[in-house]
Chains A and B, each alone.
Chain A
């Protein structure tokens, strides 16, 4: 893992753990506090409203008591009573829908709405007839259709009940009282009766048409309990509801507030806490990044420097601080520079060594090639020598065997066989001499017995040796040497070998009817000897090789020509031993010229 990541994680842990603990604790505490406040407020508002309803109803009760004690009511003075009641009606606009007076039989004997009828079956009549104020359940008015209650109070004349004074009070006025309770946008206030029927609601159509005794608060309040709680209401909404029982009228006042709205403070707090925590977290991460960058930046530079050093493109790392890392960077830079210096030196040395090696390798390859060639030459040598030795041996053997077994009585055939044997013994001798000469030349042990010699005499002798062959091939050999030519200092026998080898060679490669000219002439200190033939010539690229031992210009010509391929090599070796060299010029198809110089004999 990178140090930076580790540092960031470390900072996060040491900052986030206490931060979240503090945030959570304060959030928890504040939430409880807010909830308590909200509940207390709602409960208080409900109780206050309940009290306000009580007070208002008390005023109504006082009114009906006062009216029932009035002279006009006691004496049933209808016109005066109407006038008197009109004052109440106008004073409490819309509160009283109707005042009416009942006799003891329940007959309506007076009504502000001039209504008649009998109410002896009504509970308010029977209860009031018992001698005390009675408030009826909420009913819908027969006349206006609005919900209302009837207050009934006995009228006493001289101590005994003479009739019942009743007033129908509209519930509409309660709206003004209850509108003071803050229920928010989605809250609801309603009053239910003992059975759970709605008797007061903003939606008037539900009044006495809807029973909601399955609502938690309604259940509680109809058990005559007061309180506050969170529950799911009859609409399926989660609400905070407070309820208050008004025992005098058997009413349950219920105020419900949407729980989210009620606790909006808590949610605000939650949001704030989350924002604060988030901001704090981001801040911590930023700080961690900045700090870790400060710490890891130089380390990273060091790492890059080290990688660069490994891969060979090192650049000095800038020292950014004076702390431990800064000092380490400085040391690293110095060490790296030193290493590079050493490396450069080493590379130079290696380069030199490599070049040396390459050179040596080339030399070795060349030497190896040379060895291979030598090896090939050796194989060739063995093969050629064995063939050249075995062929005459074979002839000798067959001839001898034949002589032994068959040819005893035929002198002609005997002579033929002896000739073959002798010829092949000569051939073997020549071969062996050639090989010995060659090995002497190679070993540098060619001993020369120098003497004064006449080149003319030597040339003529050599021509004589080859006369038979030249006649056979019809090749003319001429000597072109001045009579007064200077004598030379040579090993006579060896020079004869040289001339003989050259002439044999020329005869081999000159077609029938050709010519060979042997010439010699005086030079300042030397005699120049030349042999020119009209032979097949030698190609330029092969000129250099013809003096190599065993070399044959055309290997397939070997059998036609015969021999070991040592002739020119031996000739060249002998001339070199005399301190000179054989030169050759040649035109393919026209002929070749061999030439060399020999030292003049001193006078």
Chain B
């Protein structure tokens, strides 16, 4: 079941009956009560949504924690295919994309997103341990908006996220 439509359905249910409980919604849509709670929270949330794509849980987790602390909503994906699905369903404001992913790699994910009219305008910051000039150029050529080499400084990454978001909003 598409999550996008889940959000739509939640809104539909809330419109229909303003007093409906989270538990009832979760039963009707077949998802957890916790999920319903988060979704309803997110629906009214105006914070920017960041999708982090990285297969290293040890990188992903602290990054997620620190971005959440810095007033972002964080969605995560562990591989390329999952990332594409998440982008469609969550419509993030920005994507942090690791290049070395199992299966479909980061370049492929980036070029698919940039070749799709619906997702073309979502800014992408590439994160990678590879920092050859060659790799950077390749990333930027296929449409990445910025490129940050691992290990990176968290403050710098946050600053870059802000800057890319500002740029994309001004467009």
Chain A residues with a Cβ under 8 A of chain B? 383, 386-387, 389-399, 401-402, 405-407, 413, 416-417, 420, 423-424, 556-560
Supply 29 A–B pairs (Cβ within 8 Å), ascending by A: A386-B129, A387-B100, A390-B151, A391-B59, A391-B150, A393-B150, A393-B151, A394-B56, A394-B59, A394-B129, A394-B151, A395-B62, A397-B152, A398-B59, A401-B62, A401-B153, A402-B65, A402-B69, A405-B69, A406-B65, A417-B62, A417-B65, A420-B58, A420-B62, A557-B102, A559-B55, A559-B100, A559-B103, A560-B103
B58, B59, B62, B63 — most chain A CB neighbours (10 Å): B62
Find out whether the CB atom of B65 lies under 8 angstroms from the CB atom of A395.
no
Find out whether the CB atom of B62 lies under 8 angstroms from the CB atom of A398.
yes
Residues of A within 8 A of B102 (CB): 556-560
Find out whether the CB atom of A407 lies under 8 angstroms from the CB atom of B65.
yes
Residues of B within 8 A of A395 (CB): 56, 58-59, 62
Residues of A within 8 A of B150 (CB): 390-391, 393-394
A395-B59, A424-B58 known; A390+B129 contact, CB < 8 A? yes
Find out whether the CB atom of A556 lies under 8 angstroms from the CB atom of B103.
yes
**Which 9 A-B residue pairs are closest in the complex by CB-CB distance?**
A390-B129, A559-B102, A394-B151, A395-B58, A394-B150, A401-B154, A398-B62, A399-B62, A406-B69
Residues of B within 8 A of A390 (CB): 129, 150-151
The CA-CA distance from A557 to B105 in the complex, in Å, is 12
A559-B102, A560-B102 known; A406+B66 contact, CB < 8 A? yes
* A-contact bits for B31-65, CB 8 A (1 contact / 0 none): 00000000000000000000000011011011101
Closest chain B residue, CB of each to CB of A410: B65
Does chain A have a CB within 8 A of B130? yes
Chain A, interface SS category: helix
The CA-CA distance from A535 to B116 in the complex, in Å, is 39
Apart from A393-B151, A395-B62, A416-B61, list 11 A-B contacts with CB within 8 A. Answer: A386-B130, A387-B129, A391-B59, A392-B58, A395-B58, A397-B152, A405-B66, A405-B69, A420-B58, A558-B102, A560-B103
Find out whether the CB atom of B66 lies under 8 angstroms from the CB atom of A398.
yes
Residues of A within 8 A of B130 (CB): 383, 386-387
The CA-CA distance from A396 to B153 in the complex, in Å, is 11
The CA-CA distance from A401 to B153 in the complex, in Å, is 8
Chain B nearest CB, measured from A505 CB (Å): 18
The CA-CA distance from A453 to B66 in the complex, in Å, is 50
Residues of A within 8 A of B153 (CB): 397, 401
Does chain A have a CB within 8 A of B144? no
Find out whether the CB atom of B61 lies under 8 angstroms from the CB atom of A420.
yes
The CA-CA distance from A486 to B63 in the complex, in Å, is 53
Does chain A have a CB within 8 A of B101? yes
Task: Count residues on chain B whose CB falls below 8 Å from chain A CBs.
Answer: 22
Find out whether the CB atom of B154 lies under 8 angstroms from the CB atom of A402.
yes
Chain B nearest CB, measured from A419 CB (Å): 9
Chain A nearest CB, measured from B152 CB (Å): 7
Closest chain B residue, CB of each to CB of A404: B154
The CA-CA distance from A558 to B102 in the complex, in Å, is 7
A390, A393, A423 — most chain B CB neighbours (10 Å): A390
The CA-CA distance from A560 to B69 in the complex, in Å, is 30
Chain A nearest CB, measured from B28 CB (Å): 33
Chain A nearest CB, measured from B104 CB (Å): 9
Residues of B within 8 A of A405 (CB): 66, 69, 154
Find out whether the CB atom of A559 lies under 8 angstroms from the CB atom of B58.
no
Residues of B within 8 A of A397 (CB): 151-154
A393, A394, A396 — most chain B CB neighbours (10 Å): A394
* A-contact bits for B99-131, CB 8 A (1 contact / 0 none): 011110000000000000000000000000110
Closest chain A residue, CB of each to CB of B135: A383
Tell me the chain B residues, 117-171 only, with Cβ under 8 Å from chain A: 129-130, 150-155
Chain A nearest CB, measured from B157 CB (Å): 9
Residues of A within 8 A of B155 (CB): 401
A387, A390, A395, A556 — most chain B CB neighbours (10 Å): A395
The CA-CA distance from A23 to B103 in the complex, in Å, is 113
The CA-CA distance from A407 to B102 in the complex, in Å, is 31
Find out whether the CB atom of A423 lies under 8 angstroms from the CB atom of B58.
yes
Find out whether the CB atom of A391 lies under 8 angstroms from the CB atom of B129.
yes
The CA-CA distance from A387 to B58 in the complex, in Å, is 14
Closest chain B residue, CB of each to CB of A420: B58
Closest chain B residue, CB of each to CB of A383: B130
Chain B nearest CB, measured from A510 CB (Å): 18
The CA-CA distance from A413 to B65 in the complex, in Å, is 9
Chain B nearest CB, measured from A244 CB (Å): 129
A393-B150, A559-B102 known; A402+B66 contact, CB < 8 A? yes
Residues of B within 8 A of A401 (CB): 62, 66, 153-155
Closest chain A residue, CB of each to CB of B157: A398
Closest chain B residue, CB of each to CB of A399: B62
The CA-CA distance from A401 to B59 in the complex, in Å, is 12
Chain A nearest CB, measured from B101 CB (Å): 6
Chain A nearest CB, measured from B125 CB (Å): 14
Residues of A within 8 A of B103 (CB): 556, 559-560
A386, A389, A390, A398 — most chain B CB neighbours (10 Å): A398
Closest chain B residue, CB of each to CB of A403: B62
The CA-CA distance from A406 to B56 in the complex, in Å, is 21
The CA-CA distance from A391 to B127 in the complex, in Å, is 11
Residues of A within 8 A of B101 (CB): 559
Residues of A within 8 A of B100 (CB): 387, 559
Residues of B within 8 A of A559 (CB): 55, 100-103
Residues of B within 8 A of A424 (CB): 58
Chain B nearest CB, measured from A475 CB (Å): 20
The CA-CA distance from A557 to B102 in the complex, in Å, is 7
Chain A nearest CB, measured from B130 CB (Å): 7
The CA-CA distance from A556 to B55 in the complex, in Å, is 14
Closest chain B residue, CB of each to CB of A556: B103
Residues of A within 8 A of B66 (CB): 398, 401-402, 405-406
Closest chain B residue, CB of each to CB of A392: B58
Chain A nearest CB, measured from B74 CB (Å): 13
Chain A nearest CB, measured from B55 CB (Å): 6
Residues of A within 8 A of B56 (CB): 391, 394-395
